[in-house]
Structure 1
């Protein structure tokens, strides 16, 4: 059983887009912007019929060019979805103050990350456009010693009923292990293989290491 909307000191959750800026607060390691069903969702019926696999690295301008090219050559993807992705990329740039990013837009039909884990980066933005959203743990639900010892999910979890889940379409920013002086959020992908499920996932990471390539 998954319980939602339980207040927790390490999470900031609300329907004001400005809360995403609060990810920089020392006590927060996850920010969730809860937004209603957007216009782009109406066009996803066609999108789920063809596999999506789009990756782009670089500045916002470089990634925008790559995404425009991909969407131009993918008639099953609608313009409103592209506009939403680009707006989220610009928002992530404002929140992170970074200059370089890695973007993945993909159809997912595997469980991806089965174990609760922290990302090896500073910040990550996720939006599940179709299918179940990301699972995450309040800090009080985590046995950090078990996690660091690479124990199983059952051992890491203090209580399985405390697992939280981001709603489809909501925007989440996660603190990773490289964020200065942070306790990174533990999260994992939802289980979908068992039911032959599918997701359309947007993932944006900060990637300051790309400066070395310029």
Structure 2
């Protein structure tokens, strides 16, 4: 397993106070987390099953072919598509379902093959991880183009696992466990209180973040804290999300 210092990922950003989608009921006194691992091999994402790991980051290289494809997505209408994928479906079936999803939202899939194939590969990868850590279950796929911040407040997810990959624009921001005030998080205080001076880290485009949520067995009260980034004016963020 390859790991590097958390500071290597530091990308200072301003904090924004807002409401969260989900907050834990109350903080608990728990053993410290190793919190985050950085890997260069998709197979090492399986380490997310370790009880002290809350975020596994696969540092992928950007693919110029996919970069060109997503740069051509329409900006006049935003995409917000969501589908359920079955645990027994194949990568080819995932790709066909994602193609249908784009068509349903008036995005012509012709010419988007490289991007669709990459999302289908991630869906198959995530499906396997879910089976090994949580057991077979449906997963939810979401494809979005965003021109503004969607979840500006630091929060945790009511999920078992969540995979996030930003193909264009700023990536998801997160905090290591030792820099989080979980009492402030539970009491719905502003971001400044939750991070108490810490600078958020951020995923880079094409990196894959595997986030452990509050519903992962044994993980209540220690879900990975993260938030959506601000999107610069006249830019578009392209996000792929998988939930289980």
1:5 aligns with 2:27: no
Q: Is residue 2:78 matched to residue 1:43?
A: no
Q: Which runs of 5+ in 2 are unaligned?
A: 1-5, 11-32
**Quick one: which of 133, 143, 151 aligns to 1:113?**
151
Q: Superposed, which structure 2 residues align to 1:145-184 within 5 Å?
A: 145-161=183-199, 163-182=200-219, 183-184=222-223
Give the corresponding residue for 1:135. Answer: 173
Larger helix proportion of the pair: 1
Correspondent of 1:67 among 88, 98, 101: 98
TM-score (normalised: structure 1): 0.86
What's 2:226 paired with? 187
User: Please, what is the CA RMSD of the aligned residues?
Assistant: 2.2
Residue pair 1:4, 1:165 contacting (<8 A) in 2 also: no
SS in 1 for 2:229: coil
- The answer as to 2:51 corresponding to 1:26 is yes
User: In the alignment, what sits opposite 1:212?
Assistant: none
Partner Cα separation in structure 2 for residue 35 and residue 48 of structure 1? 25
How many angstroms apart in 2 are the aligned matches of 1:153 and 1:77?
41
From the superposition, tell whether residues 34 and 119 of structure 1 become closer, same or farther in structure 2 (CA, over 3 Å): same
Q: Given the alignment of the two structures, is residue 87 of structure 1 paired with residue 121 of structure 2, yes or no?
A: yes
For the residues of structure 1 that align with 2:99 and 2:192, how far apart are their CA atoms? 43
- Assess if the C-alpha contact under 8 Å between 2:147 and 2:233 holds in 1: no
